[in-house]
Structure 1
Amino acid sequence: MKPYSVYLFDFDYTLADSSRGIVMCYRNVLERHGFHQVDDHAIKRTIGKTLVDSFSILSRVTDANTLETYRKEYVKEADQHMTANTRLFPETEEVLHALKARGARIGIISTKYRYRILELLGKKFPEGFIDIIIGGEDVKEAKPSPEGLLLAISRLGCPKEQVLYLGDSTVDAETAQNAGVDFAGVLHGMTTREELAVYPHVDILPDLTPLK
């Protein structure tokens, strides 16, 4: 893989494993509303999608007002449970420090809210270490819309050919394709190598270690 001057990452299942907290929050909301048969695997398969889309998939509810109620309840659950139940992958800190040491800039593009990402990363990295974070509240259209990725590239003022976007899901792969930037898959999540390989990619990595 060629070196890039900017590395932009998805968050969940790419830099961090927040699946325990995510499952807990979804389950608390779903069971409160009578959905007792949704298993953990089904919940994990929706990670990376918007909260509204995930609740619709898991509950089969389509009413917008009901889904918005579920979304708001999830956010309240996450305020209590998410950060305590999120862990960076073992290699994440070392890899990000190595990229910065080489002079690369790094950023995060996620459907997770920016303040939630900052809440966790503030305990691990000095202020300003991550050059840019685009969260769900910063865009009008969620991934696979390229809006967040293009916003980061614009703010960083870098040519697309110098940018690599890394993510664990087909949503991430499609986002990179829609933005016209290189993509590398990371097999930390629930998406298989075969599913990622359908999309344009420069590599599919077992974890982040090869970036060092």
Structure 2
Amino acid sequence: MIQKTYKAYLFDFDYTLADSSRGIVMCFRNVLAMHGHDGISDEAIKRTIGKTLEESFTILTGISDKETLAGYRKEYVAQADKLMTANTVLFPETIDVLSGLKERGAKIGIISTKYRYRIMELLGKKLPEGFLDIIVGGEDVKTPKPSPEGLLFAINHLGLDKNDVLYCGDSTVDAETALNAGVDFTGVLHGMTTREELEAYPHTGIMRSLDELL
């Protein structure tokens, strides 16, 4: 249970609020197959969730050529436009927790490497219009997480002090982002990252479920 009450709760998206692993694996598989990359497990793909597409493709294929990676990213986005939203589900407690925090008067936002329009495509069907106070997606920043750029932008946009903000995520990338931004971090064990991996970073708690925020 998280002891402190914050004025704003900012969240990662994939594996924090939603399980999009099925859609992500499908998109990666299709692009990898187009270029003859085989023998890559679903587990290996899932371990890259939270990183940029270029970083993920480098980890999975060993390719570092920027032009090639840019091409893979473009192909992935085209696949995701068709497959992602239909293959993404919110975790069972997500809506209740976000609503509960909102009822307390807290501001709610999302900071993700996922594109903002993709997040809005899914959440627009699940949340009332204007429910979220801010969404910062991959297209909104020059430097992706673990750069604190997106998180600091959201805090400034909301007119808050860093001490009044909690960032919640499932990965070491999220923990590092919070550390770099100088804000409190709480981990959630929805994804592929272990408790021990998250505990290596400063944290106010490691939760099994988002319910513990309430």
TM over 0.5, shorter chain: yes
Task: Name the counterpart of 1:204.
Answer: 206
Residue of structure 2 in register with 1:122 after alignment: 124
Q: For 1:59 and 1:180, how far apart are their aligned partners in 2?
A: 34
1:76 is displaced (CA, Å) by: 0.1
For residues 151-208 of structure 1, the C-alpha deviation after alignment (integer angstroms, 9 at most, x for no partner) is 0000000000000000000000000000000000000000000000000000000010
The amino acid across from 1:44 in the alignment is K
- Select 2:170's aligned residue among 168, 171, 181: 168
- Secondary structure (helix, strand or coil) at the match of 1:3 reads coil
Partner SS for 1:107: strand
* Equivalent in the alignment of 2:64: 62
- TM-superposed CA distance for 1:67, in Å, is 0.5
Letter of the structure 1 residue corresponding to residue 103 of structure 2: A
Q: Deviations over 1:19-72 (max 9, x none)?
A: 000000000000110001110000000000000000011011111100000000
- Alignment of 1:159 onto 2:167: no
Counterpart code for 1:151: F
Q: Deviations over 1:86-127 (max 9, x none)?
A: 000000000000000000000000000000000000000011
CA-based RMSD: 0.4
Runs of 4+ with deviation above 4 angstroms: none
**Paired residue type of 1:67:** L
Q: Does 1:14 align with 2:23?
A: no
Matched position secondary structure for 1:188: coil
Provide the rounded CA distance (Å) in 2 between the counterparts of 1:29 and 1:59. 11
- Alignment partners' CA distance in 2, 1:100 and 1:87: 21
- The residue type equivalent to 1:123 in the other structure is K
How far off its partner does 1:211 sit? Answer: 1.3
Question: What TM-score comes out, normalization by structure 1 length?
Answer: 0.99
Structure 2 residues not aligned, in runs of 5+ = none
